[in-house]
Amino acid sequence: MDFIHSILSLLAYLFQFIKLHFKSTHNLRLENIALKSQLSIYNHHYQKNQLPKPRPNQAFRQLWVILSKIHSGWKDALIIVKPETVIKWHRTAFKRFWKRKSQKTGRPTLSKEWISTIKKVHKENSLHSPEKIHDRLALLGLKNVPAPNTIAKYLPNIRKTPTKKQIDSWKSFIHNHLSETWAMDFLTVPTIKMEILYVFVIIHHETRKIIQFGVTKNPNSSWVKQQLRNATPYGQTPKYLIHDNDPVFRSRDIQDFLKSSGIQSKPTSYRSPWQNAYVERVNGTLRREVLDYLIPLHETHLEKKLAEYINYYNNDRTHQGINYKTPIPSPTYIPMKIEESKLKETPILGGLYHTYKRVS
């Protein structure tokens, strides 16, 4: 019932929008003055805590998600909530949309008898691996014995945290090969149409420069291989390329391409994002500084915005990890007093960020 009520409310908002479209400009201006005067009084009382904070309903949220894409001045017209809240509404709608659309797939859940048997055998043979438990149960003539990977899900204590020696060994490798190591990864972005776009990123460890990026709806091995070609023109390849265990990265097609290019693949351990910290940090930066303020319309729209930001990221954004310098070295200026200098700013992403140059 709440969903139906929300749809009816949204249709009512759209009907009012259509009515406004056919009104004369003079009447629209008068009506705008009347509405703004009433809203200013309400806002005045609300700021003095004389009125409760309004609670937007679902239809109102959906309407503002739509307005954020068709009205260029939507942020200026927004009063009762912040623009970041509208972005959050879109993400919530995206999650609900795919939750309703998604269906359970994969292997069926195990019965209680199987789970209790697996735990019993493991308790009585704590040194047995999931593969060994599988073989022991299959030897008893039991039907439909779960696969070792399925058995492992019910034995959480068999996963051991990395030792200090393992952590230090990996950190030493990263430190010793900074200049010749790249890393790649994917992150996902929902669109206004509730579709999923995949953003592919390659970063150079030493300089923190984003070497290559791409946006696609279908991140298959052929597409990733083309991105790797674009990132390595004229044999400009790294010695090591770190990546997670994504099936695309571990595919024979990609591994053969890396081997033929003289690049040594360095997959991280399962569920160990800390081993690929540089590119994970870049993914977080892209979300915090761009994607949290953007609802992409489509693939081209997202690619254009990311290209604008990544140019700013590589040329103007300083990084603590490289002594507060930029990935691509910035011009060196002669020291000058602030009273004698003048800065020229250039807006990025519609004024979300700015770049600066000294012109005197």
Average pLDDT estimate for 229-234: 93
- Higher-pLDDT residue of 242, 124: 242
Distance, in Å, from the CA atom of 32 to the CA atom of 277, rounded to the nearest integer, reads: 51
pLDDT at 350: 86
- Side-chain-side CA neighbours of 353 within 13 Å: the count stands at 16
- Higher-pLDDT residue of 92, 259: 259
pLDDT at 15: 63
CB 121 within 8 A of CB 131: no
Which CATH code for domain 112-158?
1.10.10
E strands, 94-207, are: 181-190, 196-204
Which tokens belong to 329? 């070295």
pTM score, two decimals?
0.66
Residues in the chain, overall count = 360
Coil/strand/helix, residue 323? coil
**Which of 319, 289, 323 has the alpha carbon at shortest distance from 306?**
289
pLDDT confidence band for 144 (50 / 70 / 90): confident
pLDDT at 333: 82
**Domain spans of the chain, in order of start:** 2-101, 112-158, 166-322
- Higher-pLDDT residue of 12, 1: 12
CATH architecture for segment(s) 166-322? 2-Layer Sandwich (3.30)
pLDDT in tens, 178-202: 999 999 999 999 998 889 999 999 9
Q: Answer yes or no: is pLDDT of 1 > 60.
A: no
pLDDT confidence band for 165 (50 / 70 / 90): confident
Phi and psi, residue 319, nearest 5°: -130, 130
Q: What is the CA radius of gyration of the chain?
A: 28
